[in-house]
A and B are shown apart, each in its own frame.
Chain A
Amino acid sequence: MSVSFLISQAKSVQKVIDENSAEIEILDQKIGDGDHIFNIQRGLKLVVELEDSIKDLSLAKALNMIAMKVLSGIGGSSGALFGTFFMTMAKSPDLDKNVDFTKACEMIISGINAMKDRGKADVGEKTMMDVLIPVSEKLDELKNESEFKSGLNEVIKIAEERMLSTKDMLATKGRASFLGERAKGHIDPGARSSQLIIDTICKSVINN
């Protein structure tokens, strides 16, 4: 993981989220209040715009700047959760040394754990954590493998299955929780956006 990797991933994710924005907006209007897609798009735009300020910085400093930008520029649940993710990654030890696949997995896992603590949500509650927690568990299995590319294909599959599984769940956390039975039948918009992010990043690592 490097600063240039972060920047290129932010750009790819921004493209994919923009392509799928109409779908995410509709999902959120069904069971939320319709702000999720705008928050995610605003956050990605702010991070992509950071390119010139962070491209020559150390990884720790760049992650910190991304964290503060996400935290102060997004708002809502997404801002707090993704801000927590990057802040935790920035605090990882030994970021000045080479960040290999194992280390990158550990950083992502600790970031997702911090999101879980912040949102106090677990698997089965119809939130983005339904995608992120199983992905983090799979990365924990994969992190020491030298041939991890086939494993990343499984991560892509897990993210998609878990995103789809939110459709029939009752929500117990977040704004959809106020709906009771009426939240059933709709995929969680945060689970969908998180799955798209995982999908994009995994594919780009596999193809490089």
Chain B
Amino acid sequence: MKKFINNNDDFLIESLKGFGKAHSDIINVNLDPSFVSRKNKTKDGKVSLISGGGSGHEPMHGGFVGHGMLDAACPGFVFSAPTPDQIQAAAEHVDSGAGVLFIVKNYSGDIMNFQMGAEMYSGKNDSIVTNDDVAVEDSTFTTGRRGVAATVLVEKIVGSLAEHGGSLEECKKLGEKVNKNAGTMGVAFTSCTVPAAGKPTFDIGDDEMEFGVGIHGEPGRKREKIQPSKTIVGNILEAILDNLKPEKNEKNLLFVNGMGGTPLTELYLVYEDACQILQSKGIQVTKSLVGNYCTSLEMQGASITLLKCDDEILKHWDAPVHTAAMRWGM
């Protein structure tokens, strides 16, 4: 394992401290229990949005704390859900009286810890669970689909509504709509190495890829031989379109997300391939996002998310945002 690391026990704390210093103009980092919050107090009457999850997905979620997006984020250990006391402390710190909306990715550990945190928090709160990963079959009897990259879009779009005075109920409703309108699927070329483990999570041949991979290196739909980008992108989009079934006149946001180890050059190539394929099917792409937003440490690979947009979603997507990882309009 080659990583910038001093000792394993301090890995997360040292990284959080650096994050806090690098973005001290917009955020504060609280340690013990650890959470990231906005530098400026949430204004009275604004619903607070809190997300969180295991570390190793940076910039998600701490990088999305700031104007127009989250009020706080709770980082767990690498790939492990944060703890209820972190969630409770973050809620108590940011709630300005209008209530707290927890945005939770659909993983068992995240669900349980956020439930307990919400039970321990005495203020008004509600939560939404994202589950955009179409690689996994949905079923009421199972854990169901994973919450992955579309969580970024939910946080941006609901963040804007909250900034514009949306109520807790309205924020939850919009978040659920964005989640339902989004589909994601990812591919990995390499594994990632959890610092505590010191070795790659899975073995994968030089000529192989994991199709439908999750964001923790957990295996996906199937292991395949690597193919040209157009073929990979075509297969991903087929799975997404099967699921979302966008209408020809609908507007869409196309989000190409890097897993951490794939350069932007390749991500833009993927974007070009995806645009061409969607155009050939008569599907309109009107908004874009390309970059490393929901990563799996140093994994090479990418996910594609398609989000069907109505006017409400478009308006809140375009609204100003100022966070460590996303900034426009201000």
Contact = CB atoms under 8 A, between A and B. Distances in A.
Note whether A and B form a binding pair. yes
Interface of A: 25, 29, 31-35, 38-39, 42, 68, 71-81, 83-84, 118-119, 172-175, 177-180, 182
B219 A75 contact: no
B33 A75 contact: no
Given A72-B83, A175-B218, A29 B201 contact: yes
Given A33-B194, A34-B201, A35-B77, A175 B107 contact: yes
A176 B219 CA distance: 9
A178 B76 CA distance: 21
Taking chain B's interface residues, is the majority helix, strand, or loop, or is none over half, making it mixed? Answer: loop
A75 B82 contact: yes
A33 B216 contact: yes
**Which 9 A-B residue pairings sit nearest by Cβ, starting from the closest?**
A80-B112, A76-B80, A33-B216, A77-B109, A75-B80, A76-B109, A172-B142, A177-B143, A72-B85
Given A72-B83, A73-B83, A35 B194 contact: yes
B197 interface: yes
Nearest to B221: A180
Nearest to A80: B112
Given A175-B108, A177-B142, A177-B143, A80 B116 contact: yes
Contacts, number: 120
Interface in B208-223: 214, 216-221
A77 B81 contact: yes
B194 to A, nearest CB: 6
B258 interface: no
A158 to B, nearest CB: 24
B137 interface: yes
B192 to A, nearest CB: 9
Given A83-B84, A178-B143, 8 more contacts: A34-B194, A35-B77, A35-B194, A71-B83, A72-B83, A75-B82, A79-B81, A174-B108
B184 to A, nearest CB: 13
B146 interface: yes
B121 interface: no
B19 interface: no
Contact of B79 (A33, A73, A118, A119): A33
Contacts of B139: 172
A78 B80 CA distance: 9
A77 B112 contact: yes
B5 to A, nearest CB: 15
Contacts of A83: 84, 116
B219 A182 contact: yes
Contacts of A71: 83-85, 116
B141 interface: yes
Given A71-B85, A72-B85, A178-B136, A32 B218 contact: yes
Contact of B141 (A42, A172, A175, A180): A172
Contacts of B83: 71-75, 79
